[in-house]
Structure 1
Amino acid sequence: MRGTKNGWTLLLLMLAGVVIGGFIGSIASSVPGLDWLNYGQAFGLENPLVLSMGLVVLTFGLTIKITIAGIIGIALAILIYRWI
């Protein structure tokens, strides 16, 4: 199974690493010695973009928060991908 690597596997592992890292960062924010894991920067649309077409109203919004725990999660996901 070592020869069956593809980009989708890497993408899914990286997304899982970001989600798990963000979860760990949010939990660690209340622990005094581990609050640095939740340090990061959020960027994106602060106010959602609303497109009203009478019958249909579409709302677009995207905010990404990158934390240290998320970066560690991405790094672990890449290491796991290389190990598989």
Structure 2
Amino acid sequence: MKENFKRTIAFLFFLLAGIVLGTVIARVCSGVPYLGWLAYDMSVGIDTGAPVILDLIVFKLAFGFTLSVNAAQIICVIAALIAYNKTCKGL
């Protein structure tokens, strides 16, 4: 049980590190001429500027969700998963 918990925490750490590092790289490379493609992103979801609203007279619920992924994040997440597989074999 403890081994699974350690592996799950390590997996989440590597995944989060890949996402954050990819975001930083994309922001840094957005103005660089030959590395600007790393900042290319795609957004999917319900726009938070115009969310879906459920009005139940007593209260209103607003639903909005946007997922934005860029090229640098994809590369960094793949690299993080490879690093996870190489480093966490003994856990």
The two structures have a TM-score, normalised by structure 1, of 0.74
What value does the CA root-mean-square deviation take over the aligned residues? 2.2
TM-score, structure 2 as length reference: 0.69
Aligned partner of 2:73 in structure 1 is: 70
Q: Does 1:31 align with 2:68?
A: no
Mapped partners of 1:29, 1:14: distance in 2: 22
Q: Which amino acid aligns with 1:75?
A: I
The percent of aligned pairs where both chains have the same amino acid is 33
Corresponding residue for 2:61? 58
- CA deviation after TM superposition for structure 1 residue 45, in Å: 0.8
Q: Does 1:43 align with 2:53?
A: no
Give the gaps of 5 or more residues in structure 1.
none
How has the CA–CA distance of structure 1 residues 58 and 27 changed in structure 2, closer, same or farther, with 3 Å as cutoff?
Answer: farther
Q: Choose 1 or 2 for highest CA Rg.
A: 2
Residues matched between the structures, number: 82
- Structure 2, unaligned runs of 5 or more: none
Provide runs of 4+ in structure 1 moved above 6 Å.
Answer: none
